[in-house]
Amino acid sequence: MRKRTAVTVIFCFAALATVANADDEQDYQAWMKTTAATAGKIRKELDAKAFQDAAKDAATLQDVFKKVEAYWAKSNTADAVKFAQDAQTAAKGLAAAAAAENSEQSAASLKMLMSTCGGCHNAHREKVDGGFKIKP
C-alpha cells in the first residue's frame, strides 16, 4: 500500500510540474507576442514623433523583460538571463530618450533592444512546423 501511495504522490508532483511548465511556456509565448507588437508600435510612434507614447510602450517592454528574466532564471540559463537584463537596460534607455524627445537616442536604443532580442532568438528559439519552439 505504501508503494502505491508513494507512486501516486510522485505522479501527482510530476503532473503539477508539467502543468506549471506548460503555463510558464504559454506565458512566455504571450510575452514574446507582446514584445513583437510593442516594438513595432514603438517604431511607428518614433516615426510619428509620438515620443510620450513610445516612452510608455518602452516601459511596458522593460516590465515584460523582467518577467522574461525570471523565466530563464528558473532554468539557470545564464546567457538568456543576460539577454533579458540587456533588453531591460535598452528598454529603460529607450523610455528615457523618448521621454526627452531625443529622436537619435530613441532610435539607437530601439536598435540595441532589437539586437538583444535577435541574439536570444538565435540562441534559444528553434523553428518547427507551424512556428517556433523554445530551446534551453
| Residue 17 belongs to some domain of the structure | no
* Cα separation values, 61 from 10, 91, 101, Å: 38, 6, 18
Whether residue 12 is predicted with pLDDT greater than 90 in this model: the reply is no
Whole-number Å distance between alpha carbons of 29 and 70: 14
Average pLDDT for 20-43: 88
| Residue 89 belongs to some domain of the structure | yes
Please choose, from the candidates 45, 51, 52, 91, the residue with its C-alpha nearest in 3D space to the C-alpha of residue 68.
91
Q: 133 in helix, strand or coil?
A: strand
| Residue 14 belongs to some domain of the structure | no
What pLDDT was estimated at residue 2? 60
Whether residue 118 is predicted with pLDDT greater than 90 in this model: the reply is yes
What pLDDT was estimated at residue 132? 84
**pTM of the predicted model as reported, rounded to 2 decimal places:** 0.81
Confidence of residue 136 (pLDDT cuts 50, 70, 90): confident
**Residue 45: all three cell numbers together:** 510612434
User: Of residues 135 and 76, which shows the higher confidence score?
Assistant: 76
| Residue 12 belongs to some domain of the structure | no
Number of domains in the chain: 1
Whether residue 92 is predicted with pLDDT greater than 80 in this model: the reply is yes
For the chain, the average pLDDT equals 88
Q: Name the DSSP class of 102.
A: -
Average pLDDT for 28-56: 97
Whole-number Å distance between alpha carbons of 30 and 53: 21
What pLDDT was estimated at residue 54? 98
CATH number at residue 83: 1.20.120.10
Whether residue 131 is predicted with pLDDT greater than 80 in this model: the reply is yes
| Residue 37 belongs to some domain of the structure | yes
